[in-house]
DNA sequence: AAATTTCAGATTGTCAACAATAATTGAAAT
DNA sequence: ATTTCAATTATTGTTGACAATCTGAAATTT
């Protein structure tokens, strides 16, 4: 899958860019570009990341691109093989289960910490966010969670409230990207949105009440439910693929 | 702190990696060199990592060194600042607590998984390892855990038995390095070794018996105890430093 | 026809030089 | 002695060229 959609990043218009949000180094720019390309679907799972293509595209040399690739490989979005290159990670059902296991353990802990550490302002903001999600769903007359990462908004607020940089780096940065990639490939089953919102509410209630153990438990349950849903969707799409054309 | 001790590269992994996996690329060699230098104490916490020095030392160019530095920054051992360079991470008590929180959540989960997934051979190996540790301590007539990462041997066996690559990467690779660095700075309190061994035994028993919930609980307790011990040691050495000479 | 070898093109790995930025020095002024 | 500020040095950021390795297709052998 290599779609050459040439929208973003115009650096050849001869104008010195200043207002364009500033990835300070070229390596950062390459990092952002690759990341965005993956989420846009221009690079699909298993696709090879060609250093030369990217450096040409961005009109920079291969050095910064290589650094970006090495970094992204460490974070898991790319899989690096010596003398061969990097590919976009292709997540098997097994690997997805492993990722969910980590999320469950870590976000449950984060929920417990958030229940203790969140400020009052953060707690009310959490409740309000869920209210907004609810309203959005009613307005859209939809049973799926509002588009644009609203689901993650909730999780990120809790992650942030936990005041743990390590958990944040793992869940809020790396795993978030992985799951974002996953969601772009497999939708969620109809009705899951309503259910998820309900679970979110329970978790939020426990956190607002300062009940750490309950928050932890409910978050674990919520993520387990989310996992079951996504794995079902994965298996379904796997069957689809198989029924269309055998290879 | 820069001591120039030129030891050769030795595989220092506790467990069964490839016996002489030589660093295929120069970048890997640089990575290993920096890592080893940190553990040897040649680079101390907060020390600047100079690209030129390292590339000279290894007689390679700066490109591979830069890649290694970027990678190591992603994994947490180095802290990278644009246009300034990378430094060895200096772990505050707060950060250490955060690291332990992650370890507790993840290794507790790993213990639960290991209790279900370990083969019989692995279970007996686990017990036997603890026997060896016990015997070693009696022989040495010491109350501290045998040197050379024996403590981690136990944890790594469980991590491996959990059959979760993501947990392994986080705990068995990244966090292990962080804690190894910590241990080299602050010892453990006298008597902790015996206690730790006892806790290890309880965890192992639960795992061998296939009792996932109990294994999880005991592992969490064990890590919590380990955290308390290390934090106490950190505070003690912090007081030492303060009482000696103000700088 | 199937398997193997050869070889050219493509891609990654490495290097040394140059550019841009940060850190340091030291003289002048206060 | 201290501060300011410009000049100098040290270090990081980037580049284009070259070397090593992989890939795939044509040519050769079986």
The band of A244, judged by pLDDT with boundaries at 50, 70 and 90, is: low
The C-alpha of A60 sits at a distance from chain B's nearest C-alpha, in angstroms, of 16
User: Mean pLDDT across the stretch A187-195?
Assistant: 85
B164 and A101 within 8 Å at the Cβ level: the answer is yes
B95 and A166 within 8 Å at the Cβ level: the answer is yes
Q: How far apart are CA B36 and CA B26, in angstroms?
A: 15
Contact B107, B159 (CB under 8 A): yes
CB of B83 under 7 A from strand C?
yes
- Which structure tokens are listed for A184? 């772009």
- Most confident residue range from A203-212, A232-241, B5-14, B186-195: A203-212
Instruction: Kindly state whether A102 is in contact with chain B, defined as any CB-CB distance less than 8 angstroms.
Output: yes
DSSP string, B36-76: HHHHHTSS-TT-EE-HHHHHHHHT--HHHHHHHHHHHHHHT
Facing residue for A25 by CB, picked from B82, B102, B108: B82
Sheet containing B78-81: which strands, arranged edge to edge? Answer: B48-49, B85-88, B78-81
Helices and strands, counts by H and E, chain A: 10, 3
Q: How far apart are CA B149 and CA B158, in angstroms?
A: 15
- Eight-class DSSP state of A173: I
Which residues have CB under 8 Å from A68's CB, separation 6+?
A: A27, A28, A30, A31, A34
User: Mean pLDDT across the stretch A137-162?
Assistant: 90
- For the segment(s) B93-244, the CATH number from 3.40.630.30, 2.40.50.140, 1.20.120.530, 3.40.50.300 is 1.20.120.530
B66 and A71 within 8 Å at the Cβ level: the answer is no
Q: How far apart are CA A152 and CA B221, in angstroms?
A: 31
B101 and A164 within 8 Å at the Cβ level: the answer is yes
What residues of A are in contact with residue B25 (Cβ under 8 Å)?
A: 82
Write out pLDDT tens, residues A14-40.
333 344 455 689 999 999 999 999 999
Return the domain boundaries, chain A.
Answer: 26-88, 93-241
Which residues have CB under 8 Å from B66's CB, separation 6+?
A: A63, A67, B51
Q: In Å, how far from its chain's centre is CA B231?
A: 16
Higher pLDDT, B243 or A209: A209
CA dihedral of residues A156, A160, A165, A166 (deg, nearest 10): -40
CB of B60 under 7 A from strand C?
yes
- 10-residue mean pLDDT series, chain B (247 residues): 36 36 82 96 95 97 97 95 96 96 98 98 97 89 84 97 97 95 84 92 98 98 96 81 50
What residues of A are in contact with residue B95 (Cβ under 8 Å)?
A: 165-166
Q: How far apart are CA B40 and CA B33, in angstroms?
A: 10
Q: Which of A166, A187, A181, A168 is nearest to A34 (CA)?
A: A181
The band of A237, judged by pLDDT with boundaries at 50, 70 and 90, is: confident
What pLDDT does residue B5 have? 36
**CATH number for region A26-88:** 1.10.10.10
Residues lining strand D at under 7 Å (Cβ) are: A 25-27, 60-64, 83-84; B 48-52, 62-63, 66, 82-86
The CB density around residue B179, as the number of other CB atoms within 10 Å, is 21
CA B183, B188, B193, B197 dihedral sign is: negative
A167 and B74 within 8 Å at the Cβ level: the answer is no
So what CATH class is A93-241?
mainly alpha
The length of chain A, given as a count of residues: 247
The C-alpha of B61 sits at a distance from chain A's nearest C-alpha, in angstroms, of 13
């Amino acid at each position: 899958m290599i779609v050459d959609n040439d929208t973003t990043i115009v650096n050849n218009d001869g104008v010195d860019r200043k207002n364009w949000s500033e990835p300070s180094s070229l390596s950062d720019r390459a990092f952002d570009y690759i990341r965005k390309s993956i989420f846009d679907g221009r690079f699909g799972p298993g696709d090879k990341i060609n250093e030369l293509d990217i450096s040409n595209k961005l009109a920079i040399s291969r050095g910064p691109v290589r650094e970006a690739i090495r970094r992204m490989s460490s974070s898991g979005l790319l899989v690096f093989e010596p003398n061969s290159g990097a590919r976009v990670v292709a997540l098997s059902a097994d690997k997805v289960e492993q990722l969910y296991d980590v999320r469950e353990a870590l976000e449950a802990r984060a929920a417990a910490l958030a229940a203790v550490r969140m400020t009052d302002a953060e707690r009310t903001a959490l409740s309000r966010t869920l209210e907004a999600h609810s309203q959005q769903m009613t307005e859209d007359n939809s049973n799926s969670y509002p588009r644009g990462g609203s689901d993650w908004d909730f999780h990120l607020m809790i992650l942030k409230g936990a005041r743990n940089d390590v958990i944040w780096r793992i869940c809020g940065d790396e795993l978030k990207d992985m799951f974002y990639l996953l969601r772009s490939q497999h939708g969620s089953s109809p009705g899951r949105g309503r259910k998820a919102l309900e679970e979110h509410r329970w978790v939020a209630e426990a956190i607002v009440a300062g009940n750490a153990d309950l928050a932890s438990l409910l978050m674990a349950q919520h993520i387990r439910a989310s996992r079951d849903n996504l794995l079902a969707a994965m298996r379904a799409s796997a069957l689809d693929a198989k029924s269309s054309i055998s290879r």
